[in-house]
Amino acid sequence: MPKITYIDQAGNSKTIDVENGLTVMEGAVQNNISGIDADCGGSMACATCHVYVEDSWFNKLPKAEDAENDMIDMAYKPEKNSRLSCQIIVSEELDGLTVTTPEKQT
């Protein structure tokens, strides 16, 4: 199973085995990773699963759709490497992906 690493603003890091096909958001929620709220449950309607993707990984991910970027506009402190974790689908290619959760989601 691909390993996904979640780092919070304090630098605490957790690496989780996430099943292929789940989203990075689901991996977090199912494993009690704090810092990802996912209020809308993954329907790309709330921007509370916002993460920063490590630069080396950011360009490897399939590009965000317009609708995702529109939602990221609403997120707390978006950056160039911001993504919604509900839109990143885990696969073998993403083994080792590292994301950082923002200081807060709202």
Partner 1 sequence: MIKTDVVIIGAGPVGLFTVHQLGIKGLKSEVIDNLDKAGGQCIELYPDKPIYDIPAVPECSGKSLTDNLLQQIKPFGTKVHLNERVQEIKEDKGEWILKTNRSKTFVTPNIIIAGGVGSFEPRKLPLKELTKFEGKSVFYSVTDKTLLKNKKISIFGGGDSALDWALELSKYSKVTLIHRRNEFRGAPHTLKILDKLKNEGKISIKTPFQIHSINDDKELKFIKIKDDNEKIEKIETDIILGFFGLIMQLGPIVEWGLNMNKKTIEVNTENFQTNKPGIFAIGDICSYPGKLKLILSGFHEAALASVECFKRARPNEKYRFEFTTSSKEIQNRLGIKK
Q: Which parts of this chain interact with partner 1 (CB under 8 A)?
A: 37, 39-41, 43, 45-48, 66, 69-70, 73-74, 76-78, 80, 106
Pick between residue 84 and residue 94 the one whose CB is nearest to partner 1. Answer: 84
Residue 95, Cβ density class (10 Å: 0-12 exposed, 13-18 middle, ≥19 buried): middle
> Least Å distance between CB 71 and partner 1?
8
> Least Å distance between CB 95 and partner 1?
28
> Least Å distance between CB 74 and partner 1?
4
> Least Å distance between CB 58 and partner 1?
13
**DSSP E strand stretches across 2-101:** 3-7, 13-17, 50-53, 82-84, 98-100
Pairing of strands 13-17, 3-7: antiparallel
Pick between residue 37 and residue 86 the one whose CB is nearest to partner 1. Answer: 37
Residue 5, Cβ density class (10 Å: 0-12 exposed, 13-18 middle, ≥19 buried): middle
